């Protein structure tokens, strides 16, 4: 079974500071990994995804994530936090069986931006 | 291109009733997945449809069912509602059902069961 662990249910950073949201996965086969963001009362928006083409993945809004197989991690970073980044962030892994088993999500990390 | 749409956006039902939620995927997308989001359990996979066939189902009771139409639109039904069914139900569409396909999510239907 595949699983995702997001360390820290809440992360608080100052505006302009580095954002680091942690995600570790377990998978018996090479995974496909995703980061989604959810703003209040909205659905999920894809930030970026890893599909084995490159270990450093760049996404929208300045976010990027690095796949580290040795650490089974896929941490999300943004060099400079903006107030508009305040939201819930979800890391997800796609099952080897394809979309048939759906995405497995972490519990989410609530990002708080301090002015 | 229009995104994934879900109707209704909000719904209030009472225990024992049934409910049907609708999802229209992005034009050209043939795969539709459904997820339940609750504060306690987080995001959980319900089922996925591709070309009108249910490909797999998550760990939910048989009260949860769905279907997909020839135009890829999908509906999910929950019968005999329980208080614990109160949740945000999210629909996601993708071009196909491949492992690396990106799922695009709709805004969700928030269901409250009283």
Average pLDDT rounded to a whole number, residues A25-45: 88
Of A34, A28, A44, A36, residue with least CA distance to A96: A28
Residue A51's pLDDT is 82
Length of chain B counted residue by residue: 114
What's the gap in Å between the CA of B106 and the closest CA on chain A?
A: 5
Q: Are A111 and A11 in contact (CB under 8 A)?
A: yes
* Contacts B43 to A, Cβ<8 Å: 90, 92, 103, 105, 108
On whether any CB of chain B is under 8 Å from the CB of A112, the answer is no
Higher-pLDDT residue of A76, B57 = A76
Q: Would you state the pLDDT for residue A96?
A: 53
Categorize the per-residue pLDDT at B101 as very low, low, confident or very high, splitting at 50, 70 and 90. confident
On the 0-12 / 13-18 / 19+ scale of CB atoms within 10 A, B71 is exposed
Angle at A20 between CA A18 and CA A22, to 5 degrees: 175
The answer, yes or no, to whether residue B114 has pLDDT greater than 80, is yes
Which residues of chain A make contact with B56, given a CB cutoff of 8 A? 97, 100-102
pLDDT of residue A87: 97
Across the range B79-97, mean pLDDT stands at 94
Closest-CA residue of chain B to A48: B102
Nearest CA in chain B to A44: B105
Q: How far is CA A43 from CA A38, A55, B83, B99, B108, in A?
A: 6, 27, 22, 21, 6
pLDDT computed for residue A101 by the predictor: 62
User: With 50 as the cut, is the pLDDT of residue B16 above it?
Assistant: yes
Identify the CA nearest to A34 among candidates A44, A42, A43.
Answer: A44
Distance from CA of B18 to the nearest CA of A (A): 23
For the segment B85-106, the average pLDDT, to the nearest whole number, is 89
Question: What is the pLDDT at residue A99?
Answer: 45
Residue whose pair of structure tokens reads 């339940």 in the numeric block:
B36
pLDDT of residue B96: 81
**Both tokens assigned to A45:** 């928006």
Rounded to a whole number of angstroms, the CA Rg of chain A reads 14
The answer to whether the Cβ–Cβ distance between B92 and A44 falls below 8 Å is yes
What pLDDT score does A98 carry? 45
> Which residue from B76, B99, B106, B94 is spatially nearest to B28, judged by alpha carbons?
B94
A80 and B CB contact within 8 Å? no
**The pLDDT value given to residue A97:** 47
- Please tell me if residue A115 touches chain B, with a CB cutoff of 8 Å: no
Answer whether A102 touches B (CB < 8 Å): yes
Q: Provide the pLDDT confidence category of residue A79 given band limits of 50, 70 and 90.
A: very high
Residue B106, chain A, CB below 8 Å: the answer is: yes
pLDDT tens-place string over residues B19-78: 999 999 999 999 999 999 999 999 999 999 999 999 888 889 999 999 999 999 999 999
- Residue A100 is nearest to which of B42, B97, B108, comparing CB atoms? B97
């Amino acid at each position: 079974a595949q699983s995702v662990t997001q360390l820290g249910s809440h992360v608080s950073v100052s505006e302009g500071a580095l954002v680091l949201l942690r995600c570790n996965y377990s998978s018996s086969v090479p995974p496909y990994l995703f980061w989604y963001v959810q703003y209040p009362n909205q659905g999920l928006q894809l930030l970026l995804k890893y599909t084995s083409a490159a270990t450093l993945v760049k996404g929208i809004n300045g976010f990027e994530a690095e796949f580290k197989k040795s650490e089974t991690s896929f941490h999300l970073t943004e060099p400079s936090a903006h107030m508009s980044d305040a939201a819930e962030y979800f890391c997800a892994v796609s099952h080897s069986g394809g979309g048939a088993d759906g995405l497995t999500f972490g519990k989410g990390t609530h990002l708080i931006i301090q002015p | 291109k229009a995104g994934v749409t879900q109707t209704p956006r909000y719904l209030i039902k009472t225990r024992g009733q049934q409910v049907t939620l609708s999802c229209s995927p992005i034009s050209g997308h043939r795969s539709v997945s459904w997820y339940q989001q609750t504060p306690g359990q987080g995001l959980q996979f319900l089922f996925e449809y591709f070309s009108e066939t249910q490909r797999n189902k998550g760990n939910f009771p048989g009260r949860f069912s769905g279907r997909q139409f020839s135009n890829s639109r999908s509906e999910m039904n929950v019968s005999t509602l329980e208080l614990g069914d109160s949740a945000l139900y999210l629909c996601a569409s993708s071009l196909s059902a491949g492992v690396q396909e990106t799922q695009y999510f709709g805004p969700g239907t928030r269901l409250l069961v009283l």
